[in-house]
Structure 1
Amino acid sequence: MSRDDLTLRRRIGRREFLSGCAGLAAAALLPGARAFAATGSDELRIQRLAWAGIRLQLPQATLFIDPLINPDAWGAALKDPLIRVDDTVGDTSVLITHAHPDHFDATAAAQALSQGGTLAYPLGTNPLPMPAKARARPSAPWEPQLLGDFTATAVPASDGYGDPQVSWVVSARDRRIFHGGDTLWHGHWWRIGRQFGPFDAAFLPVNGARFGWRKPVSGLPGVLTPEQAVAAAIILRARRLIPIHYGVTGMDDYVEVDDPIGRLREAARDKPVVIQPTAPGTWLDWTS
């Protein structure tokens, strides 16, 4: 090979390298790539969404649990900003804990799964309408399933109305998280903790809501109270408790406990769990 041929090949190689770098830079500007553009990290990132929703993000996979973007779910009673879910990356899955409209938002599911993906839900429920390109996956408790780069397992939960509900255990990149939907207190915490704990984070409802819609009215909380959420986190051996499912005000038939975050902090005083309130839209800080 002549010296001129070697020079030409080196120039072509440099052009290919620079072209590849430009392609990566352009990809970082695509919708949904923002989560990793700043750090370039491939570790699991988690964003809190409105109400009970969260997004779990890896470089080539996105997983949502109970995403909510429908303003009609709570109307003016919920002040949380509604976070977009149509900017997904890679293999996409949506998990729901139950079929109530503030946890199964059909519009959010359709937007998140507009390019296809999996909608996983508790066995015995029938969330409708199913997104047009989604693969339906009814999920029995204790059966792990692979969803892209995630492993997800439905575990028992207890709904305030007695409707079918699960919580979710999700693991990826050496992290394991628990999402409690809007469960109330039940007797499965110890088995879940033994089988899957410890958890890096537990996303637990904390508003201890009392309902007036079902008659006769019980007057008892149909969702974990702050004190019960701390107890659950300790049994699960969760390093941090991220409160979800709170912030509804001004309703006669749905009444939260006063100051749920203050009560949560007080209940966790001298307990082996970090309370980490995270505003909707914010990404979880693992170092806190």
Structure 2
Amino acid sequence: MEIQKLNWAGLKLTSNNKTILIDAVEDFSYYKPVLGDAVEQVIKFSDDIQADYILFTHLHLDHFDKGVIKKCLKKEGKLIVYSELEPFVRKYVEDIEIIVLNLDETFTESGITFQPVFAMDGVGEIQSSWIVEDKTTKVFHGGDTIWHNQFWKLGKENENIDYAFLPVNGVVVNFEIIGLEYSPIPASLDLKEAFVAAHLLHAKKLVPIHYGLFAHEKCYIPQLFDENDLKQISEEVEQNYTILKDGAILAES
């Protein structure tokens, strides 16, 4: 399996001549009032990728891009959707084959297995994580989940995870602009929580996602960290990690 990191939480997986997109977003403009401007150039990929499968963890527009689905999904491609999101997704897409899965249910095609598993959204909306596996590699994608009590269970039930792609920005959000009361509690995993989650998942490596690209002084305040923090927490938790920049391909995969 070849793994490429796209913008923010996005991944492109290539396996058995099939292309898979997870949380692949190119247009973040709708969220500019709360995320601010991207601090780095956003990768434009939709003209170059034709996907056989598209998955997303939830419907926040920094994880779900209708434009990417329209441009990138092949005519015979499939949208793979967690069942609780299906009614909402069908309002956005037409004439696309949708594979609907309950939590822990699997769908296998072309030697690739897809499975939605438990997650918790930071503002209480519907979210799943995803496990995608072929003969060589098993990937866990955690969207922007917060800490929850199912990581132990997920680690026991889903052996041999190679890479856990988990959010690490521990962001505090102030979304009063859209009617949510302010809370100082982070709305995604922070760095230490992500390391511990990866450890409980028994992942060979944590790959941090969902950090660095956005910050807003009033609405979207991420926790910052540096290489020393990564090394210190990795040693403390005894969890290996690798950093993958946007656009980079995971050489080890």
TM-score, normalised relative to structure 1: 0.78
Superposition map of 1:1-288 within 5 A: 44-75=1-32, 76-88=37-49, 92-125=52-85, 126-127=88-89, 128-130=91-93, 132-214=94-176, 215-247=180-212, 248-259=214-225, 262-286=228-252
Q: Check conservation: 1:50, 1:80, Cα contact below 8 A.
A: no
How far did 1:78 drift?
4.6
1:118-174 C-alpha deviation (Å, 9 max, x unpaired): 1122222212421x4521223210001114331010000000111110000110122
Cα separation, 2, equivalents of 1:147 and 1:110: 22
1:202-257 C-alpha deviation (Å, 9 max, x unpaired): 10000000111154322010100100000000000111111100121234111000
Q: Identify unmatched segments of 5+ residues in structure 1.
A: 1-43
Q: 1:207 to 1:274 in 2, by over 3 A?
A: same
1:99 is paired with a residue of what secondary structure? coil
Q: Identify unmatched segments of 5+ residues in structure 2.
A: none
Aligned length: 242
How far did 1:197 drift?
2.3
Considering Cα pairs closer than 8 Å and 6+ residues apart, tell me whether 1 or 2 has the greater RCO: 2
Q: 1:176 to 1:66 in 2, by over 3 A?
A: same
Identity across matched positions, percent: 29
1:265 is paired with a residue of what secondary structure? helix
Cα separation, 2, equivalents of 1:260 and 1:206: 12
1:234 is paired with a residue of what secondary structure? helix
Q: 1:83 to 1:286 in 2, by over 3 A?
A: farther
How far did 1:261 drift?
5.6
Cα separation, 1, equivalents of 2:227 and 2:75: 38
Cα separation, 2, equivalents of 1:100 and 1:276: 26
Cα separation, 2, equivalents of 1:88 and 1:155: 26
TM-score, normalised relative to structure 2: 0.88
Cα separation, 1, equivalents of 2:172 and 2:23: 21
Cα separation, 2, equivalents of 1:104 and 1:252: 24
Q: How large is the Cα RMSD of the aligned pairs?
A: 2.0
Q: Check conservation: 1:61, 1:149, Cα contact below 8 A.
A: no
Q: Check conservation: 2:28, 2:61, Cα contact below 8 A.
A: no
Q: Check conservation: 2:16, 2:111, Cα contact below 8 A.
A: no
Q: 1:255 to 1:262 in 2, by over 3 A?
A: farther
Q: Check conservation: 2:57, 2:130, Cα contact below 8 A.
A: yes
Cα separation, 1, equivalents of 2:207 and 2:118: 20
Q: 1:208 to 1:69 in 2, by over 3 A?
A: same
Flag as ranges the 4+ runs of structure 1 deviating above 4 A: none
Cα separation, 1, equivalents of 2:31 and 2:227: 20
Q: 1:190 to 1:108 in 2, by over 3 A?
A: same
